[in-house]
Amino acid sequence: MTKLTKYEQETIINFNEDESMASICAHNKRLIAKLNKACQRVPEHFKFIKSNDDGFMFFECTKKYITIHIPAKSTLTDEQREKLRERMKTLTAKRSRNQI
């Protein structure tokens, strides 16, 4: 087994417009764990293909499960954010006093 640099430890997701399945080649341990769990939970949409000696694991999944999450933009002003922060401090302090 060859020691790969962080740069070489890639994750590659590949699909085309004609086929319904995407292929995933991953070295990332968290992603591999999620994909393994998905293979167990929904085997009709996720499939383990193989692994190699370098630590890469290969999967296939239905393309509809490949998504990009774009976080919501906060619309709070700095003043509103500060008021919420103070309110949380007060609530946390009250909760702590009640638990003692």
State pTM to two decimals: 0.69
Q: Is residue 48 within 8 Å of residue 57, measured between CB atoms?
A: yes
Pair of tokens at residue 10:
């890639």
Domain ranges in the chain?
12-65
User: HSE on the CB side for 91, CA within 13 Å?
Assistant: 6
Residue 31: pLDDT over 70: yes
* Whole-number pLDDT of residue 99: 66
Average pLDDT for the chain: 92
* Whole-number pLDDT of residue 71: 84
* Whole-number pLDDT of residue 72: 81
Structure confidence by residue, pLDDT tens digits, 90-100: 999 888 887 64
Distance, in Å, from the CA atom of 41 to the CA atom of 83, rounded to the nearest integer, reads 43
